[in-house]
Every structure is written in structure tokens, then in C-alpha cells.
Amino acid sequence: MKLRELAHSRTGDKGNTLNISVICYDARHYEHLRAVLTPERVKAHLGDVVRGNVMRYELPAIAAFNFVLGDALGGGVTRSLALDAHGKSLSSALMGLEVEAPVGG
């Protein structure tokens, strides 16, 4: 299934660094996503646009993760040549990631 069916997301930018939140619709899926949605997997999925490291911060109190992606904005929004200089559309790229279905739905 696509990650989009389990979680929602918003992208933010600061300088040349991007953050993408992943927020479970159902808090019961938090541990499942914690197991399958590793920073390595996110980095591999977004490989064309993220050149730097991917860090994952965990927020169990709201059943969410915050992924912080380095060197992801072509030098930063103020100088990037990209059409989407803020990288705002990248939350949708992550939502298209194929993930294993949680056991028990």
C-alpha cells in the first residue's frame, strides 16, 4: 500500500534543508511505521532530490515523525534553479512510497 493511506504530511524549508512530517491517521500504526519507514528508505526513495543525510525524529505523543533532509534544495530557496525552489511538493513524493500493510489493518 502507499504511505498515503496510513499517514499525511507537510513539507517545510529552512535554507538548504527540508523537513517532511509523516503523521499517522491512526496512532495504532505508529510502531509499524517506526519499523518500516527508516531514514535509509526515505533517502533511497527521494534520491534524485536529496543529496545530504536524512535524519528521523520521533514524536510518539502525536504519532508522527519528522524527517530532516540535508542538501535538498539546490542551495536553498533564495538561489535554487528548481521550479519548486521550496521543495514544497516533496511531501507528495514521500506519500507515494510503497510500504508494507500493518498487521491487522
Partner 1 sequence: MTVTQHERVVRIGAGAGYSGDRIEPAVELAEHGALDYLVFECLAERTIAIAQQARSKDPELGYDPLLETRMHAVLPAASRNGVRIVSNMGAANPLAAARKTAEIARSLGLGGIRIAAITGDDVLDAVRSGDYRFEESGERVADYDTRLVSANAYLGAGAIVDALAAGAQIVLTGRVADPSLFVAPLIHEFGWRMDDWPTLGQATVIGHLLECAGQITGGYFADPGFKDVPALARLGFPIAEVGPDGAVVITKLAQAGGRVTEATCKEQLLYEIHDPRRYLQPDVVADFSAVHIEQEGPDRVRVSGGNGAPRTDTLKVSVAYFDGFIGEGQISYAGPGALARARLALDIVRERLALTGVQTHELRFDLIGVNALHGETLAAGSGEPYEVRARVTGRTASLAQAVRIGNEVETLYTNGPAGGGGVTKSAREVVAVQSVLLPREQVKPAFTMVEA
In the complex, the residues that contact partner 1 under the rule CB under 8 A are 4, 8-10, 12-17, 19, 21, 23, 25, 45-49, 55, 57, 59, 61-62, 64, 66, 68, 75-79, 81-84, 89-90, 92-93, 96
Q: Which is nearer to partner 1, 10 or 100 (CB)?
A: 10
- H helix and E strand count, the chain: 3, 5
Nearer to partner 1, 23 or 99 (CB): 23
Provide the minimum distance between the beta carbon of 62 and partner 1 in the complex, in angstroms, as a whole number: 5
Q: How far apart are CA 22 and CA 28, in angstroms?
A: 14
- Judge contact between 66 and 57, C-beta under 8 A: yes
Of 49, 100, 61, the closest CA to residue 20 belongs to: 49
